[in-house]
Structure 1
């Protein structure tokens, strides 16, 4: 159930040249023949600049080249999207093209016949995409979605805040991270921004700690056995409680959302905290959520989640995933072709140049201009293993319980020993 990938260069920076990998779909200036009128209902969660405008432009360009096709774009905030999608899936009426993170949720959608098997439709060009990025969208060897973004979660930090607190180098171990938290608090700086209300950002800590303590094998075993009530996951909870007990988060974090005006990203972008644990999209969301157009600019830096002393996991094992799209079962025939244009090299370079996307098309990696994204790409390039977000890797009910339980642990309403039993109980029912 987990997306567990052994050592490889996830970004495939060395390989065929751009010319050899350009996609041949209509949309590179070629106008398709007209046909029966088609409307593609497209739901995505890039509801802020820069991707909001870029996606809109790409839809208009496709309509211009395919005069019989209309793309009805519906940008949605992540949580609003999840709720709306759940309603449409229960009614067995999914949108034609919709945001997907792959993993357990996509498997359930595929098994319920709600998404199209597009394996044969993408066979001519799927090899141009990174295998690591495609894996979460593959169910039993068949492809049900296409990724446009790949990345990892790590710790983003404010260089100036670290300097003021006397932290000379990013923490490489959990003990060093706790020491950094102490130094930041002593300097009068909020150590960590967290969106406690959204829950999913908190699960990143528990998941990474489990990886560092037990290694990727522990997560794979949990998927196979449907059992989280093991020493590894209990220890991960205890380590997280060590951090929580230090009160490292901003005031009101339990009510904070990720992308709201006073949420986690804005807290970082407005210099209200020194660190956040977040994915590759963090710099762009910080900038769009802050009072400054650039957020904290070149004062922002990145380091991988630290190792845990005595743990079996490697500090070079990455945790994350990406963004992609699935095709609804009743989608018009033009939908897969439109999806193909979104991930063709030219458009992937444009997306990469915004700093909001790490491309999945191997010919587009040269478009990564943002220094921080280059650092993330470099870390992915030497990753010894890869684990998909736990709330996506497992079935939706299990993923939701992981988020809920992580939030309860952080809020202090449940102990580490309790949450593993709660998650296991849900997992056993799947």
Structure 2
């Protein structure tokens, strides 16, 4: 998941880099013992990624005599925690999963990541510019994407029909009315993994984008000030939703990828909607039954009076980076993994969107086709807040959004707390 997708997401504590020193940096590097032994940390714990990643390793090893790639696959939050410790120690795996953005930038600034600009120059332009941008800083490339996508609402068409909702809501006011209709029909409107926090931040982030546009987020990134009106208004609109009690019972303790978590509730038809990335349908099927033809998708609604267009999207993808002293063989694996042949396999599985030119023809699911077309028509793109910003800021966004949803923080307090984190206070 983009997981975030999945599964979607901040794993560096600010203190994790504070203690790095020159001697420690000199000792850092890949954990593999040679060019022939490579350790790869990733988050491919669910299907189809679990199988696809294993097959890619097997094929690469068969074509490269003597090479062994040892996978260490971890669930999202476990991965973040493990990487925090590794980053603090100055020793990253030979190849490691990254969502890019501010988290990767801090690892780069600490000297822990290999600059692969020259290594990938002959083929990196075959990949989507949007997919690449989260892994490039100051004209240099530090990771290679394998997925790109956007967050939107996945909904149960049968539940909408029962609640007499004729079409997906196009505005925030219509969305709130849809929630009321679903509740009146005895249907739980929204599934939310409150325990993991990152799914909740999607609401605050998207609302801020709809109120002020991507430009407002870019300005906040420059000034480290999130007390501007779009962010306060985002909190107020989110509180409007929370006050309707739209989430399932026990949502504050619910996880995302589990047999009784957010994805399973959607996949088993227990709720009407979830706000999630392009990986959602597959995780719904992995953790539940899946909705088949009853599953639909619609973009995050416009906010009345807001300056953000519905064609501005919020999302991200996954990529792979290489430790500072990672080998050329690791580079070769990234090239192999990003090839159009492997990209088509991922896309054909229904869990990923294409990052290479020509792989889009492998999209079979009409919902994913809608996501892909929406992404390609986007007039603005904003990466997940908990990855776009430095780790301490991303974590504060997640924590404060969770507090607001739990009724423990006001919209103003959320904006102020995130600003303090951004200013290092």
Common topology (TM > 0.5): yes
Q: Is the 8 A contact 2:155 2:274 kept in 1?
A: yes
**Per-residue Cα deviation, 1:227-253 (whole angstroms, up to 9, x for no partner):** 001121111100000000000000000
**Per-residue Cα deviation, 1:53-99 (whole angstroms, up to 9, x for no partner):** 11101101100110121010111100000001111111111011111
Pairing 1:322-401 to 2, within 5 Å after superposition: 322-401=317-396
Q: Is the 8 A contact 2:35 2:329 kept in 1?
A: no
Task: Report whether the alignment pairs 1:160 with 2:155.
Answer: no
- Map of 2:20 onto structure 1: none
Q: CA deviation at 1:37?
A: 5.6
Deviation larger for 369-378 or 272-281: 369-378
Q: Report the Cα distance in structure 1 between the residues aligned to 2:328 and 2:215, rounded to whole angstroms.
A: 41
Q: Report the Cα distance in structure 2 between the residues aligned to 1:363 and 1:119, rounded to whole angstroms.
A: 23
- Map of 1:38 onto structure 2: 36
Pairing 1:93-108 to 2, within 5 Å after superposition: 93-108=91-106
- Aligned equivalent of 1:253, options 248, 251, 258: 251
Name the count of aligned residue pairs.
392
Q: Report the Cα distance in structure 2 between the residues aligned to 1:232 and 1:360, rounded to whole angstroms.
A: 32
- Aligned equivalent of 2:312, options 310, 317, 334: 317
Q: Secondary structure at the match of 1:149?
A: coil
TM-score of the two chains, using structure 1 as the length reference: 0.90
Q: CA deviation at 1:363?
A: 2.1
Q: Is the 8 A contact 2:35 2:327 kept in 1?
A: no
- Aligned equivalent of 2:260, options 259, 262, 279: 262
Q: CA deviation at 1:353?
A: 0.5
- Map of 1:130 onto structure 2: 128
Q: Report the Cα distance in structure 1 between the residues aligned to 2:66 and 2:251, rounded to whole angstroms.
A: 49
TM-score of the two chains, using structure 2 as the length reference: 0.91
- Map of 2:230 onto structure 1: 232
- Structure 1 runs (4+) deviating above 6 angstroms are none
Pairing 1:193-232 to 2, within 5 Å after superposition: 193-232=191-230
Task: Report whether the alignment pairs 1:410 with 2:408.
Answer: no
Q: CA deviation at 1:268?
A: 0.3
CA RMSD of aligned residues (A): 0.9
Q: CA deviation at 1:333?
A: 2.0
Q: Report the Cα distance in structure 1 between the residues aligned to 2:366 and 2:214, rounded to whole angstroms.
A: 29
Q: Is the 8 A contact 1:156 1:303 kept in 2?
A: yes
Q: CA deviation at 1:306?
A: 0.2
Q: Is the 8 A contact 1:40 1:96 kept in 2?
A: yes
Q: Report the Cα distance in structure 2 between the residues aligned to 1:131 and 1:382, rounded to whole angstroms.
A: 13
Q: Report the Cα distance in structure 1 between the residues aligned to 2:316 and 2:147, rounded to whole angstroms.
A: 8
- Map of 1:59 onto structure 2: 57
Q: Is the 8 A contact 1:349 1:359 kept in 2?
A: yes
Q: Report the Cα distance in structure 1 between the residues aligned to 2:72 and 2:363, rounded to whole angstroms.
A: 27
Q: CA deviation at 1:177?
A: 0.2
- Map of 1:12 onto structure 2: none
Q: Secondary structure at the match of 2:310?
A: coil
Q: Is the 8 A contact 2:392 2:421 kept in 1?
A: yes
Gaps of 5+ in 2: 1-33
